[in-house]
Structure 1
Amino acid sequence: MGPNGSLVFCMEYIANNIEELENAIDAAEDDYYLFDCPGQIELYSHMNVMRTIVDALKSWDFNICAVFLLDSQFMVDVDKYMAGALTALSTLMVLECPAVCVLTKMDLLKAEDRERVEHMLSSEMSTLLNENPPSAFSSAYRNLSEKIASVMDSYSMVSFQPLDLQDEESISDLLLNIDNSIQYGEDADVKDKFPEEVDPDEDTGEW
């Protein structure tokens, strides 16, 4: 079967025996679970196993956020950037749940590559295509790329958040976005950091 075939078999087994997963999760109020899912795209592109698992978690009253991770070292080329964005979009359409798309390993990029990636994240795809002349291979598909870029720009379908593991603020920002998407902690009691000072001479009526 090979490693991919074995992985598909295992994921199908979980989807077909979803009650075993439910029994394995001893969920309590405000529990926060992280599922490290396989990255093989076939599990999301033309199979329903991941959607089955997500739907099951929703039925168990879990708030779900899909975190799509893309290696930033492959994103210094505009064509690869578009391909990555389309892959993320197709995956999230299958899962149908709140999502955060992340560019990982920003701390491993060279300075010039990091600047290029940051420029790509802040620019529209159509602009990036105009800035980069097509290669001999991509020139045949230039018109298609321009149409796809126009649709992606018009509807702001996918945006990526850079993640630098050497930067605590970068990690905190990502966690905040995920927490907001699942409304984590919104039911918690508000803690007053600046309680009103009580006048010691004031009669509070307490004994």
Structure 2
Amino acid sequence: MSEGSKGSSLAFGQVVIGPPGSGKTTYCHGMQEFMGRLGRKVTVVNLDPANETMPYQCSVDIAELITLPDVMDSLKLGPNGGLIYCMEYLEANFDWLQEKLAAFRGHYYLFDCPGQVELYTHHDALKNIFAQLVKWNFRLAAVHLVDSHYCTDPGKFISVLCTSLSTMLHVELPHVNVLSKMDLIEQYGKLAFNLDYYTEVLDLSYLVDHLASDPFFRNYRRLNEKLVEVIEDYSLVSFVPLNVQDKQSMRQVMQAVDKANGYSFGDQEHRSLEALMSAAVGADFHFTSTLAVQERYVQSQDKAVEEEVMDL
């Protein structure tokens, strides 16, 4: 709870959502450690009944209530149907969740959510769970993680934009879209445009033109144009780049989320943040690089161009 809300029953936190493999659990681990070093009391709540390996310190675990393997075995459901059942079961047992969360009053909450996309785009169970948390005076922001490798494929990036927009409209929470695993983007290939084109979601007509150069997508130009029109008409989707190993990157994401959910830290946390960003840290601290993600990526791209010129 922030200094400005002492004496009130408000609680602040993030619901961390996104497709499988986007880095939600890693994000929760990194953010728990980062915020902990600033003096925040952070409670991580695992709402993923399929999450069996948690690197972070988990205070509340849905596995105490229900697990995906048990549901699949007893009800003969597949993983998708099983996850939906688990979320509906949690929705029917709000009292269990409320009792567990009450033990950590005054903490900052990170909710590690399942990776099934349908739960964020059109199924109501998780949406209702979030709405119930809001009724309990939680000030939440949805942190939607997307793997940055989708930027290297224009077709997949349009798909990601549509999914992000659909999620924002369905979840109905203050929203921060995050391009995760930025430290690995160089392994996925060159981007067709500068990184800020993807983070700010600039004029998407260039993306449609780029797709049209591919014989496969040329036949779907009209469809892509209509999808792009929908995205641009709403004008809601943008991204914050994230490298969990980078302090500056973590700071930018944290500040974006704090702005979204209304969290306002006090002087002590501000001093801790400045000290963390400027001081040399020990080897046990994960966030060792002080160079911003975008700067490092741009530098690497410039170096690659120079090498190509030298080869010529």
Q: TM-score, normalised by structure 2?
A: 0.56
- Structure 2 residue 99 is matched with structure 1 residue 23: yes
Q: Judge which range, 126-135 or 69-78, deviates more.
A: 126-135
2:226 aligned partner, one-letter code: K
1:191 CA drift (Å): 9.4
The answer (yes or no) to whether the contact 2:144–2:175 under 8 Å persists in 1 is: yes
2:228 paired with 1:149: yes
Determine which structure has greater relative contact order: mean sequence separation of CA pairs < 8 Å that are 6+ residues apart, divided by chain length.
2
Letter in 2 for 1:158: V
For 1:50 and 1:77, locate their aligned partners in 2 and report how far apart those are by CA, in whole Å: 30
CA deviation digits over 1:102-155, x for unaligned, max 9?
Answer: 011110122753684615415321122223425333223211211221342344
| Correspondence 1:159 to 2:238 | yes
- Identity percentage of aligned residues: 37
Q: Is the 8 A contact 2:211 2:218 kept in 1?
A: no
Counterpart-to-counterpart distance in 2, 1:165 and 1:60: 30
Is residue 2:166 matched to residue 1:87?
no
Structure 2 contact 155–211 (Cα < 8 Å) conserved: no
> In the alignment, is residue 110 of structure 1 matched against residue 189 of structure 2?
no
Unaligned ranges ≥5, structure 1: 194-207
Alignment RMSD: 2.5
Tell me whether 1:45 sits opposite 2:121 in the alignment. Answer: yes
The alignment partner of 2:259 has SS state of helix
Q: CA deviation at 1:185?
A: 2.2
Alignment check: 8 A CA contact 1:75 1:117 kept: no
What does residue 124 of structure 1 align with? Answer: 203
Partner of 1:196: none
Aligned 8 A contact 1:76 1:117 in 2: no
Query: In the alignment, which of 247, 252, 271 is matched to residue 173 of structure 1?
Result: 252
Deviates more, 1:135-144 or 1:80-89: 135-144
Query: Per the alignment, do residues 191 and 35 of structure 1 end up closer, same or farther by CA in structure 2, a change over 3 Å counting?
Result: closer
Seen in structure 2, the aligned counterparts of structure 1 residues 103 and 68 have a Cα distance that, compared at 3 Å, is same
| C-alpha displacement of 1:57 | 0.5
